[in-house]
Structure 1
């Protein structure tokens, strides 16, 4: 959290709101007893400037842990504000209090705090708060002695009542609890909307208590709304008072997850109001991964500093790279920066599936991808994927799996039995796919060399955001093996090493998540598969069942591959010539579990 300003004066000790009224009465009695002299001339009011300032955390990523709304509010205030002579205090995180409090906070440029938090007075000391707008029964709140308080009755708040505090508002807006966070996030100076909570047919205990107050009475003091209960009259709204909210923070955002149970909507709205008061945008991140949706990626484009609220975001070490990737603004085909977006289960995060053509350009014998030129391949991929659109509510993304290194019957110059395609031969198709919104997977058939070595040779293509990697163990030979005499295989350590290299490559370049695909039609093809490392946040791992032939045989392979499998996504391949018969799209999506990727060869 930012340190207190060096010029911060030492504050007198504290009081509660309950004792403030007695001090006002005592002052009045002293004045009455000393009357009778000559009338003193009215002094000229001293101009007052209330200027707030923002100081973002030094670290690019800050995560505020779960906790009660009052404690979380303190933490967010500490993370965003350097000083705030004006602040807003609510008795509790009740929508009826929070809605108008948010409007006041944004207009005046001060944080919203919640009574009952340990350290409330210390935070007001640090902020240098001199004037506090209070909503609700916060009589027991522990405050510094010299804070001037202005009660505001949430039950009767209107534009006139706020004008008395120097607050100018826009249109009035009644919001339901489930829309409160979005409404607060949309508040903006100079005339924020006047938010009020929609009527609750079953009011909370605090709302019921307010309803029993006398009409027009302040819930904090029993005095008419707007009456000062502090030792000195509030200067808010006076003609000699100038309120200077902070300038909007640059390249920063507050991240919240409205789908999380850690804070209720009103508690989330409290911290959202503090962010908007600081001029910091509020970004709702369903599921806690800012890469998951197009909306979050667009909102975080160019952001350098974030404060995230809640455990769904993970720790800064996990969230930081995710934010850095989202901040690039680059999106994958189908939207967002995740290959598959169903892992969070959060509302607003749509699933994606893929339908791909397989092969290598210019070689029809290796698959349908090579049967036509680049424009026709792009069109065919689009048409093939479109057949699945009506079969699912998920987004179906057209894709291409391009064989980059082709298994060869004879030794190559490097004795690898693997013939590499030149990067420049493949680049036109890769770039055409990007322009058409199609995903690309680079497929490796390494022969006697290893997958890591070959993957690194195609780093130029893997640097494209929409390009992933496939390993084909059928064509990974031992030193004494030859293609078509033996079926190749790979040890899990080599697979994991390739995954680790690709994950680091992706993370270092702030690239969107990449598909990491493993072809398999026999358990022997990947030894010790149960040790497959699926922990890399930068990769979406998929096992692709490559079996061909009769449908009963393919179904048996599918079932066998699922036995003891790690937690991965799954792919299914349809062979035009070898399957008897080949499944049509509707039949393919009857396979259970429904494949995340369907490839045509």
Structure 2
């Protein structure tokens, strides 16, 4: 049984966002905000030392959770640079868009209530796994696959700088919060879309997510079928992020890739790992627990890349019996144990 996400309601919500296209706004502002003045930018590579490798190896072995197949922990990987979040912390995020209550908890609730709900999840995880500190975050859909073509005919709705700035402001309500900007490229592509959010990726606390489901390389309209990325696409993005980390002397970037079918990510063994980038293959499917576990087993555990994630859908996971959400206690039994947890 395939795990397919409900896309019709999503497209209705997306269509309502068409007034927020911001291509021109982004072009006007991309030059105004940088992390450092150009004269102060450090160009040398790998200024940060590697992490404590013994501690890293011990945590990765723990995350493998007794796996004896040789798949986990991943072998022949570069150690991340100092300042890396993973695997030293577990990232817990709320996902969504501020202009749609149907796209996730981030946007469904007012900021104060959203934080109250998210912090309850954080406390649950801290109780279940007190040995792993939680890194809290917000995962914002900064480019939304749209139900309408838009001015450029790419069926993509780019959130304006004001919208992204609002998310960064909400993140500041709780100290040390990180932010993910997520791209649904539709009929566009990653090379064209990354520059629209580059000034934000220059910030040390902003990271990246991409959604193959809405990467329509064959020209199909988003939501009509499931899209795809190849290892070459992922390697382009990780190289882009690595260059930024080196240029601005940033801590490693966390790079989340959503996945719930095999075809969503092709040639995964060819994905390149880099000290400057931490890749999370994120189980993004919804359904009953057995279905979600099967998806994780086949497409996340079965095709090792680096780190793993798992999504909980507050509504869609309850559509079919048994009507319950999977718990942190259950997720801690997975092989490997996910270090990125997303609630939608």
**TM-score, normalization: structure 1?**
0.42
Instruction: Provide the residue aligned with 2:101 in structure 1.
Output: 364
Q: 1:378 to 1:456 in 2, by over 3 A?
A: farther
Instruction: Provide the residue aligned with 1:445 in structure 2.
Output: 184
Q: Distance in 1 between matches of 2:99 and 2:251?
A: 29
Structure 2 counterparts to residues 3-402 of structure 1, below 5 A: 286-287=52-53, 337-340=83-86, 342=87, 351-392=88-129, 393-402=131-140
Instruction: Provide the residue aligned with 1:109 in structure 2.
Output: none
Instruction: Provide the residue aligned with 2:338 in structure 1.
Output: 595
Instruction: Provide the residue aligned with 1:520 in structure 2.
Output: 259
Q: 2:144 aligned with 1:406, yes or no?
A: yes
Q: 2:265 aligned with 1:488, yes or no?
A: no
Instruction: Provide the residue aligned with 2:7 in structure 1.
Output: none
Cα shift at 1:381: 2.6
Q: 1:377 to 1:453 in 2, by over 3 A?
A: farther
Instruction: Provide the residue aligned with 2:12 in structure 1.
Output: none
1:384-423 per-position Cα deviation (integer Å, ceiling 9, x unaligned) = 2122111111101211110001111121111111101112
| 4+ aligned runs moved over 4 Å, structure 1 | none
Q: Distance in 1 between matches of 2:198 and 2:300?
A: 31
Q: 2:288 aligned with 1:550, yes or no?
A: yes
Q: Distance in 1 between matches of 2:190 and 2:288?
A: 31
Q: Distance in 2 between matches of 1:288 and 1:558?
A: 28
Structure 2 counterparts to residues 414-493 of structure 1, below 5 A: 414-434=152-172, 436-493=175-232
Q: Which runs of 5+ in 1 are unaligned?
A: 1-60, 62-254, 258-284, 290-317, 327-336, 343-350
Instruction: Provide the residue aligned with 2:69 in structure 1.
Output: none
Higher relative contact order (CA 8 A, sep 6+): 2
Equivalent residue of 2:138, what SS?
strand
Q: Distance in 1 between matches of 2:156 and 2:110?
A: 24
* Contact 2:94–2:106 (8 Å) recurs in 1: yes
Give the number of aligned pairs: 269
Equivalent residue of 1:430, what SS?
helix
Instruction: Provide the residue aligned with 1:570 in structure 2.
Output: 308
1:282-307 per-position Cα deviation (integer Å, ceiling 9, x unaligned) = xxx74399xxxxxxxxxxxxxxxxxx
* Contact 1:378–1:433 (8 Å) recurs in 2: no
Instruction: Provide the residue aligned with 1:508 in structure 2.
Output: 247
Q: Distance in 2 between matches of 1:362 and 1:372?
A: 11
Q: 2:297 aligned with 1:581, yes or no?
A: no
Q: Distance in 1 between matches of 2:111 and 2:122?
A: 17
Q: Distance in 1 between matches of 2:208 and 2:300?
A: 21
Instruction: Provide the residue aligned with 2:74 in structure 1.
Output: none
Equivalent residue of 2:263, what SS?
helix
Q: 1:453 to 1:587 in 2, by over 3 A?
A: same
* Contact 1:381–1:400 (8 Å) recurs in 2: no
Equivalent residue of 1:455, what SS?
helix
- Higher Cα Rg, which structure: 1
**TM-score, normalization: structure 2?**
0.72
Q: CA RMSD in A?
A: 2.6
Q: Distance in 2 between matches of 1:385 and 1:509?
A: 31
Q: Which runs of 5+ in 2 are unaligned?
A: 1-43, 56-77, 318-322
